[in-house]
Every structure is written in structure tokens, then in C-alpha cells.
Structure 1
Amino acid sequence: MLIFLLRRLVQACFVMIIISVISFAIQDKLGDPVQQMVSMAVSSDEREQLREQLGLNDSFLNQYWRFAKGAIQGDLGTSYHYKEPALDVILKKLPATLELVFCAILLIIIVATPCGVLAAIKPKHPVSRLLMIISSIGLSVPIFIIAIFMVYLFSVEWNIAPSFGRGETTEILGLWDSGIFTKDGLSHLLLPSLSLAIALMPIFVRLIRAEMMDVLQSEYIRFAWSKGLSAKRIYFIHALKNTMLPVITVGGIQAGTLVAYTILTETIFQWPGMGFLFMDAVSRVDTPLVAAYLIVVGGMFVITNTVVDLIYGLVNPTVRLASHGL
């Protein structure tokens, strides 16, 4: 276990270095930040002076070296627009995004697991066939189409839930504000979290179905039937546990993908999270904020993958974590 953790730590550092280089390199492709920071009345000399103050005239290697030294100390630069450390700006928006992702994952687990199990146990049942048809359609529809459709249906036509904003929030332990514990906050959370869940739910329904059907054909399941064990124990204890191994692996990757998906979802629902902040930063050519966002999201992917590997080994003790980390 210790060897595995050390290997993963080295891999994580290497990956984060690559992410930081790429994140910093694309800044020049976004446009001129000085043009966004000053008005048209500012002279070219004043613009050039501002570029010099910001260090934009330095070579790429000098700029990256300055950025890397700050990043090691937790300083990812200062936002041009907010005039605050970029990392602090992102961390203020992080709870809203994590709250959205958490609710989406919860919905996926609650809905996809029983649907996948049902489709595997009774593959010819009309309900199972309907689930497969719906999942096939769900895989083909982009997330922004789902989000727009839900806004039209639930907000415009039925007026069930609000279509934008985060709603009323309450402070949790003096650390962050959450809308989960207020009625208004939950109503605002419904549509964006449901949109995210629907976008990924078909993948998990089909994956659980395919893996469980394979497990149900294995020898130890036949032996369990011959021992006279109850169907509930066989399906939900023996079969489902081994079915969840690949699901956990894919789920960990998709959990990180959900953070990226929030860019579209938060933009459509005007959800004040990291994704909406990123789009705003791109439009303002706030390059330090863009780079900081990419590094934070990359770090979340690295952490998620490491945690998934650990959980994989805990669920299946026969897995050799040291070799799995290669």
C-alpha cells in the first residue's frame, strides 16, 4: 500500500507539472488581457507600461518560472478582474460546484443502480427493454440540449422549479454557504443537478447491466444457487458487489468529468460555480484565473483517480495495489 501511494504521488506530481505547463501556455491564445482591462481612451504608452508591470513582455520561460515558483507556495496568480488571488476566487465558487456534482452523483447512484440491476435480472421484461431504449437515446443527446429542454419543461411550461441562480443558502460550520439545507436552495438545485445526472445516467445503467449479466453467468453464482441461497442475497450481495468493481473505476473518471460538464450546465442555469466563473474569465481574458481553474480541475482529476484506485482495492482485496499503480 505504501509503495502504491508513493508511486501515485510521483505520478500525480508529474501530471500536475504537465497540466501547469499547458494551462500557462494557452494564456497567450486567449487574447490581450490589457485590452480588456483598460478603456479605448488609454494611450498605447500607458498600455505598454501596464504590460510591463504585469510581466507580459517577459519571455515564456521567465513568465512560467515565476508562475511555477508561486504555484508551489499556493499562489496561482492574481485575477485581473477581481484583483484578488485567483485561487481564492476559485475556492469561493468551489462549494457551489461540488454541491451540484454531489447531488448529481447521488441521483445517479439512486436511479442507475436499481435500473441496471433490473435490466440485468430480467433482460426481456418490457421495463428493461424500455430502460435500454431510453439509455440509448440519453447517450445521443448532448447535455446542453437536456438542460435547455428541462428549463423549458419544468420552468417555462410547468413552473415547478426556478431556472437560474442558487437560491437561498445557509452557512455550514462557518466554512461555506450551502443551498442543500434550505427549501429555496433545493428548488434551485433540482434542475442543474438533474441535468448533470441525466447526462451520465445512461452510461451507468448500461454498464451495471452488462457487468451484472456477465457476473450472473459465473461459476460461483451457480454454486450459490445450488446452495439454496435466496435470490435477494445472490443478486444484491454476491453479484452486485463484483459488478461494482468496474463501475467504481468508470464512476471515478466520470465524477471528474462531471466537474468539466458543469461549465455548460452552470452557464445555462446561471449557477454561480467554478464553471460559470471559467466562462466569465475566458470572456474577460482573465488569464491567471483561467490557468488557475485548469490547474484546480486537473488536481481534482488526479485526486479522484487516486481515491478510486484505493476504493477499488478495498472492495476487492485480491487486487494488488502496488502493481495496479504502475
Structure 2
Amino acid sequence: MFAFIVRRIAQALLVMFIISIVGFAIKHNVGDPVRMITGISTSEAEREALREEMGLKDPVLVQYGRFLKNALHGDLGTSYFYQRPATSVILEKAPATIELVLASSLIIILFSVPLGIYAAIYPKRIFSRCIMGGSIVGVSLPVFLTAIVLIYIFSVELGWLPSFGRGDTVNIGGWETGLLTWDGIKHLILPAVSLSSIMLPLFIRLIRSEMMEVLESEYIKFAWAKGLKKYRIWFVHAFKNTLLPVITVGGVQLGITIAFTILTETVFQWQGLGFLFMEAVERSDTSLLVAYLVFVGLVMVVVNTLVDIIYGWVNPQVRLAGAK
């Protein structure tokens, strides 16, 4: 197990190294940082002197080495718009996105597990067919369209829920959270439901297909032959083995969901990383773009590595296959 963990960590470090190269390429080739921080009245000679001072005329490898060293110390440059370290801006906006992703993940778990199990156990019932038909529609609809429909129904027509912003927040140890205020929770509902609509149909179909496959396996037939109660067979024997591939896909999709918040946060004006990313693109703030890329990449790498380790711990066959 120790060798398996070491291999996965080494792979994670390699991926982060590649991400650092991509981030440096963006920062090195997109925009001119000197023009971003100087005014129109600045002469060309002054700009050249500033480039020399900033090390922009050094060889590319020297610049990359400096970028990598600073990145390891948490320094990804200074945001041209905010005039603050890009890392601090990212960390300031991260709680909003993390809360949105956690809320949508909770919705996915609460609905996909029972609906997927029901559709697997009773595949021919009308409700199961409605579940699968609805999942096809959910997969087909883009998230921004779902968001607009939700806003129209629950904000414009019914007036039950707010359509933009985070609402009232509370600062706890530097973490701005809206989960402790009723207004913050009301503002969270529509964005969370909208974001969950991307993955919820996928997980329903995944749990259903895996559960149906497990129910046809020999050990389940043996459990029926032993006369075990149906609920024990469904929820202890069958569902337990259904979870293995679901854990793997869930870990990957969690990282992807963080990247998908861009559209959701833009529609709902949710002040998180996705909204920040769109602002950085509009302002050509390359330091923020790179910081966003590195942060999201780091989250995905950490989550996937933890999922691999958990999966290897749960299923020894994975460790044995990786050792070959």
C-alpha cells in the first residue's frame, strides 16, 4: 500500500509540474504586464527599463525557474486590477465556490442514490422510466439554460427565491460563509440546484447501471438462494459493491464541477472563482488567470489522488494491477 501511495503522489507532482508549465506559458505569452501596470504617458524607454527590472528580458528557462520558485512559495504574481497578490484574491473568492460545490454535491448524493437504486431494482415500473427519461433531458440541457429557467420560475414568476448574489454572510476566522444565515441559504438554493443538474443525471444512470450489473452477479444469486431478506441483499451486498466505481467517478466529477461553476456563477452573479475567472478574462488579468488555473488544477489533482488512494485501499486488486 505504501508503494502504491508513493506512486500516486509522484504522478500528482508530475501533473502539477505540467500545470506549472502551462501557467507559465500563459503568463509569458498572453498580454504585456508592463503595459498593464503603466499609463499611456509612460515612454518606451521607461517601459524597457521596467522590463529589465522585472526580469522579462531574461532567458525563458530563467524566467520559468523564477516563476516555479515563487509558485512554490505561494506567489503567483500580482493582480493588475486588484493590485494585490493573485493568490490572496483567489483564496478570498474560494469559499463561495467551495460552498456552492458542496451544496450541489449534497443534492446529487441525496437524489441520485435513492433514484438510481429504485430504477435498478424496478427497471420496468413507470416511475423508473420517468427517472431515466428525466435523466436524458437533464444530460441534454446546458447548465445556463437550466439556471435561466429556474430564475424565471422561482424568482420572476413565484418570487420565492433571490436570483443573484450571495446574500448575507458571516465571517468566521477569515471564511466568509452564507451557510449560517437564512438569507445566504436562500441565495444558495438556485445556484446549487442549477450546478447539480450537470452531474445528477449522470450519477443516477451510473448507479442504476452498476447496481443492475451487480444484481445479476453470482454472489447475489447465492444470497437469494440462502433466503436473505431482500433489503439486506439490495443495500448491504449489492449497493456496497456498486459504490466502488461511483467513488472513482465522483472524485473526478467533483474537480470538474469546480471548473463548471463558471457558467453558474456568471448567470447568478455568484461572487466565486468562476465569476472571478470571467472578470480576469475580460480584463486580461493574466496573473489571476494563472492563479485560477493552478488552484483548480491543484484541487483536481489532490481530489483525484485521494480518490485513487481510497479506491486502492478499498479494492486491493487496484494495488496489485498497479504493481505490475
Post-superposition offset of 1:52: 4.2
The 8 Å contact of residues 32 and 285 in structure 1, kept in 2 or not, is answered as no
Partner of 2:300: 301
Task: Give the SS at the match of 1:177.
Answer: strand
Partner of 1:220: 219
Aligned equivalents of 1:182, 1:76: Cα separation in 2: 34
More moved, 206-215 vs 288-297:
288-297
Partner of 2:62: 62
Matched residues, number: 324
Q: Tell me the alpha carbon deviations over residues 214-243 of structure 1, each in whole angstroms, 9 at most, x when there is no partner.
A: 000011111111122111111111111101
The 8 Å contact of residues 97 and 275 in structure 1, kept in 2 or not, is answered as yes
Partner of 1:166: 166
Q: How does 1:2-151 map to 2 (within 5 A)?
A: 2-151=2-151
Aligned equivalents of 1:325, 1:150: Cα separation in 2: 49
Structure-2 change in CA distance of 1:226 and 1:269 (3 Å): same
Output the TM-score relative to the length of structure 1: 0.93
Post-superposition offset of 1:171: 2.6
Aligned equivalents of 1:28, 1:323: Cα separation in 2: 41
Structure-2 change in CA distance of 1:74 and 1:162 (3 Å): same
Structure-2 change in CA distance of 1:42 and 1:164 (3 Å): farther
Structure-2 change in CA distance of 1:270 and 1:45 (3 Å): farther
Structure-2 change in CA distance of 1:45 and 1:153 (3 Å): farther
Output the TM-score relative to the length of structure 2: 0.93
Q: Tell me the alpha carbon deviations over residues 300-320 of structure 1, each in whole angstroms, 9 at most, x when there is no partner.
A: 11111111112223444x334
The 8 Å contact of residues 87 and 292 in structure 1, kept in 2 or not, is answered as yes
The 8 Å contact of residues 36 and 284 in structure 1, kept in 2 or not, is answered as no
Structure-2 change in CA distance of 1:249 and 1:184 (3 Å): same
Structure-2 change in CA distance of 1:168 and 1:76 (3 Å): same
Residue type matched to 1:120 in 2? A
Post-superposition offset of 1:109: 0.3
Residue type matched to 1:299 in 2? L
Structure-2 change in CA distance of 1:322 and 1:101 (3 Å): farther
More moved, 39-48 vs 303-312:
39-48
Partner of 1:319: 317
More moved, 275-284 vs 57-66:
57-66
Q: Tell me the alpha carbon deviations over residues 41-74 of structure 1, each in whole angstroms, 9 at most, x when there is no partner.
A: 5444444444444444444333222111111222
Task: Give the SS at the match of 1:74.
Answer: coil
Partner of 2:256: 257
2:277 is the counterpart of 1:278 = yes
Residue type matched to 2:253 in 1? Q
More moved, 125-134 vs 74-83:
74-83
Q: Tell me the alpha carbon deviations over residues 152-172 of structure 1, each in whole angstroms, 9 at most, x when there is no partner.
A: 222112212111111111233
Aligned equivalents of 1:12, 1:325: Cα separation in 2: 17
Aligned equivalents of 2:5, 2:314: Cα separation in 1: 17
Residue type matched to 2:269 in 1? Q
Partner of 1:156: 156
Aligned equivalents of 2:196, 2:241: Cα separation in 1: 24
Residue type matched to 1:210 in 2? S
Percent identity, please.
54
More moved, 267-276 vs 55-64:
55-64
Task: Give the SS at the match of 2:317.
Answer: coil
Q: Tell me the alpha carbon deviations over residues 261-289 of structure 1, each in whole angstroms, 9 at most, x when there is no partner.
A: 01111111111111111111122121122
Residue type matched to 2:9 in 1? L
Aligned equivalents of 1:159, 1:176: Cα separation in 2: 30
The 8 Å contact of residues 311 and 318 in structure 2, kept in 1 or not, is answered as no
Q: Structure 1: 5+ residue runs without aligned partners?
A: none
Structure-2 change in CA distance of 1:322 and 1:181 (3 Å): farther
Q: Structure 2: 5+ residue runs without aligned partners?
A: none
Aligned equivalents of 1:47, 1:210: Cα separation in 2: 61
Residue type matched to 2:226 in 1? K
